[in-house]
Structure 1
């Protein structure tokens, strides 16, 4: 069955005139017509700009959701893409960049559209067309437009938004920062402590043959404890650290905990030194301590001398217990009820202005105490701080100290044996043998170690002695002695704690990197959206209120090519350089109007 279709020719000129100078649509195909309508709806309206704005807003909303989700949470990783791991910063940068690009596109179109609104209101220089075009494409042109329009158009928002857009990338990187925190784990964390101390002594230990019970007690402490004492004594300039905890996670915390320990105290007793003529050699003065019945003294030829404040050197029994040493000759520490050791140190300090030898004196004690600690382990690095130390153990026959709800005890035999050992090794002297080629002599290795911080002699030759302070030990003189004795106490404490089954429990942590959002920086993204919406809505309203109504040519190059009226086209001199055309365009005033038979055109202003 044949189909007969009749086509009526269209008067193109008449149709063009009725449509304001625009050619009528081609209705030769139904499909083409539908496609053309959709294209016209997208091109001639604001659909693309509104959609682009919505895309930018959605990206910022997505950024907000991501930030709220990860704020205060561990740093996320998003697997691998082409061998590269994605990070939170990558996600933020991507969303921010897409949002910026999507929001800036309507900005450029709005600036271009306001160009037509600008010329539709009144006559302006033809050069303003170039100004608006440059403003839609860059910041420099935008600020030129500010000057050219004297802030009389909403297009002035364009350059500010473009400049704002450049700042969005660095501002987005300020949105988050990362900080490391300790997160509690189930891993164990322990550190040895001791609430009592019983060493293997007496009949249960090794007794080295000697003259009397005192010598037996001297040898009865464990070899491990003797080694700990020697470690502290010969530590020289190396600090003996407190015992380290067991911390498999390498990050642990131990709040305040307490343990049995060995503490020490020091006092300068130089003011108690008095002198008299040496009864054995009236050419020398003999210096000794007043206020003490101790027989310790020092003379010019002796440079260093130590002695005990104890009055007995035997360990008789009382009620089945070994009797501790009686340190009743103490000068500075008479109130301490139960010292482990109480030692006087007399030492030569140099010479005075008259050339006479000068001396000093120090007294120190070592005693049992309950030491409080706090310990932190961060990435395997241990930091232990000492807090309060409680001293003054009572009951010499069974040393006991109550601290809070815990009772700390020392085995009596252990106390006596340790006290006798310290009392013996810490006594001795250093002297100069002028008859044996001026050799230095120390009565024991321990005395040599104690003398080291007091070695004030730089050089000694026949007839002349030169003095200077020795700083090889931390500090000098008394400070150096304190360093050595404190090291001894720490080393003994570590041994005692290591050889007890008791522990203090801590908390094990893992170091986790958390995300922290700086919400104040998000105001930049919110402000950018508001300003872009303000420019878009202002452009739509300004277009609607102008003679253009719904016409939206925006940045269409076709609209620019067809904008000049026939009179202006005939008057033009062709394509010129910018420097040549600018003066001509500035001199030519034009306005936008609907010319009958031509459509919308830029018409020359006739001056009326």
Structure 2
């Protein structure tokens, strides 16, 4: 009969490790009384089977796989979704490592529970016996979650093996938790930094380089509304650094309290047949004039036996000053030496003139100045902050920086412009036959045909006809109106629609729009652009680390369970049989109970029923000099 050699036995007999016994006989079959000859096996086999080396390698492999998962997650967290060879995904790689880690862990836990089975039947209390059915509970628990649940219920969770059973049950959540670790949200990233995202920028605003004529630009500003130049953004989401650009700006002020009537001269014919003589009254501004002459509001006064009559400019627009030279020091609305100054005045009746005062009638006393607004327009630079989000551009501009006019150092007789008050030299170079510029300083010089000639487009008036009866004693506005040309200047066409537009919308609104129209024309004509950053949607890896807590905790808890099992087994000085089936065959029950029924153990259910009432204990057998399950 063969003898089992167990090299992990800490007490008992000293056989050679890693040795089996083979019968020797000259006839080929060993006699019963002859000793058996040992068969040599490799030493590494004994070291693997009879020690915890297998389990050590398995738990080390499980920890290494879990560490590999952590390293991969750290590497790819926040990175774009990777693409591996052969279509392997990051989720598949994490799932593979997680499955291998769990499988190695479950193997170790199963082996530990198999060894704890023998510890359960071999306790320090020599007189204590356990029911044989626990052998089945331990075996089922090492095989899966259901058996683990049963042993927890049987032991009420107080035995050490219940910890291993709990690990096997909770390991059911291992794979789902691993699948939840990685998410793939979208984010916007900078993908291109070049000319694909471009915003127009103007270093100069020269009339001769504009695509549209100056009249077209002005009229578009007077009646138009869209003056933005949208940037180019291929993705619909772009950003640009702040940049400066040249344009046209205006600034207005209310000067009503600073304006008055003056120099009302003329004679009035009081006869019925007399020819009415106009009485001229000047509207005096704080500064400026009308094309070389002080602007005068023309009033016509007639008298006869029936009624007095008066007509006057109820709404008028004119240019007090324009194209101020470098040698001047004029300032309008806070702008020094602007390109053009435009004024708008509105006159009305005082409504308290008595007809008894007619012979000494004073138009200045009959009329009142309702409102006078003055706007200055000039070149300027502004800082642009542009962004495009979901295809919708957002353009924010800073307050304008007005500049100064200086003489062209390369073409005497013409003026140049630059932003700010810097007086340092500029490197003016000739761009066209009539224009010079230094783009680095936003300095440029329009000359000759490049004159803006803004003063030609802001003149006009609407006159109002008023009358009173001889007995009424007050002036009455009958709302009868007729239009007149450009303030007595026969060389200019009437501007009645312009005056109506300004009267309805306001001079400040119209001037801002005209300035914006010039700015747009300059941007469209410019070949300079500012490169922006294109932002595109990208799928990236987002790691939700808290999902990794359970898998990592199971690996740690399994390692602790293995270490404690080794310590318990060493304390009990038991051999390492673990979950070996052969251990049950060689160290089974010492004697099977005898029953009258011959098929008492023919079925598993009958064996299980018998085991429930059969107390046994693992102990050393005196007959065999080894371990055996002994009945009570």
TM-score range, shorter chain: 0.5 to 0.7
Cα gap change, 1:435 to 1:502, in 2 (>3 Å):
closer
Residues 333-375 of structure 1: CA distance to partner in whole angstroms, max 9, x if unpaired?
A: 366652656465989xxxxxxxxxxx99987665432111133
- In the aligned structure 1, how far is the partner of 2:595 from the partner of 2:391? 86
State the 1:170 CA deviation. Answer: 2.9
Cα 1:343–1:435 shift into 2, 3 Å: closer
Quote the Cα distance in structure 2 between the aligned partners of 1:416 and 1:486. Answer: 20
SS at match of 2:122: helix
1:257 alignment partner in structure 2: 243
Q: Secondary structure at the match of 2:228?
A: coil
TM alignment of 1:12-31, pairs within 5 A = none
1:474 aligns with: none
Please name the residue that 1:592 is paired with. Answer: 618
1:537 aligned counterpart, secondary structure: helix
TM-score, length of structure 2 as denominator length:
0.57
Equivalent pair of 2:58/2:104 in contact (CA under 8 Å)? yes
Contact preservation (8 Å) 1:182, 1:512: no
* TM superposition shift of 1:592: 2.7
Q: SS state of the match for residue 319, structure 2?
A: coil
Number of the residue aligned with 1:57: 63
Q: Deviations over 1:231-285 (max 9, x none)?
A: 555555xx5433425x7798765322111122355778999999xxxxxxxxxxx
1:417-436 equivalent positions in 2, closer than 5 A: 417=452, 419-420=454-455, 423-424=458-459
Q: State how far apart, in whole Å, the 1-side matches of 2:557 and 2:449 are.
A: 83
CA shift, 1:117, in A, is: 1.6
Alignment partner, residue 244 of structure 1: 231
Maintained 8 Å contact 1:341/1:422: no
Alpha carbons 1:120, 1:592 under 8 Å: kept: yes
Using the TM superposition, give the Cα deviation of residue 537 of structure 1 relative to its aligned residue in structure 2, in angstroms. Answer: 2.5
CA distance in 1, matches of 2:230, 2:629: 91
Secondary structure in 2 matching 1:310: strand
What are structure 2's unaligned runs of at least 5 residues?
A: 1-24, 261-282, 288-294, 298-313, 348-369, 408-413, 423-439, 465-477, 482-493
Instruction: Please provide the CA RMSD for this pair.
Output: 5.8
Structure 1 unpaired stretches of 5+: 16-23, 202-220, 275-288, 297-304, 348-358, 437-441, 455-476
User: Which residue is 1:279 aligned to?
Assistant: none
Match in the other structure for 1:338: 338
Number of aligned positions between the proteins: 486
Alignment of 1:55-204 (within 5 A): 55-67=61-73, 69-70=75-76, 74-80=80-86, 85-121=87-123, 122-126=128-132, 128-139=134-145, 142=148, 145-146=151-152, 148=155, 150-153=157-160, 155-160=162-167, 162-163=169-170, 166-167=173-174, 169-171=176-178, 173-174=180-181, 179-183=187-191, 191-200=199-208
| Higher mean displacement: 64-73 or 530-539 | 64-73
SS of match in other structure, 1:374: strand
- Larger radius of gyration, structure 1 or 2? 2
Name the CA shift for 1:406/1:155 in 2 (closer, same or farther; >3 Å).
same
Q: Given the superposition, is the C-alpha separation of residues 38 and 415 from structure 1 closer, same or farther in structure 2, using an over 3 Å criterion?
A: same
Contact 1:254–1:375 (CA<8 Å) still a contact in 2? Answer: yes
Question: 2:400 pairs with 376, 389, 396, which one?
Answer: 389
Separation in 1 of the partners of 2:376 and 2:502?
14
- The CA distance in 2 between the partners of 1:336 and 1:318, in whole Å, is 10
Given the superposition, is the C-alpha separation of residues 49 and 223 from structure 1 closer, same or farther in structure 2, using an over 3 Å criterion? same
Q: Tell me how far apart the structure 1 counterparts of residues 160 and 596 of structure 2 sit (CA, whole Å).
A: 29
Whether 1:492 and 2:494 are equivalent positions in the alignment is: no
Cα distance in structure 1, aligned partners of 2:594 and 2:218: 108
Q: Which has the higher helix share?
A: 1
Of residues 370, 379, 382 in structure 2, which corresponds to 1:371? 382
CA distance in 2, matches of 1:507, 1:569: 90
Q: Give the distance between the partners of 1:55 and 1:503, measured in 2 at CA.
A: 59
In the alignment, structure 1 residue 400 sits paired with structure 2 residue 434: no
- How far off is 1:581 after superposition? 6.7
Q: Distance in 2 between matches of 1:548 and 1:567?
A: 24
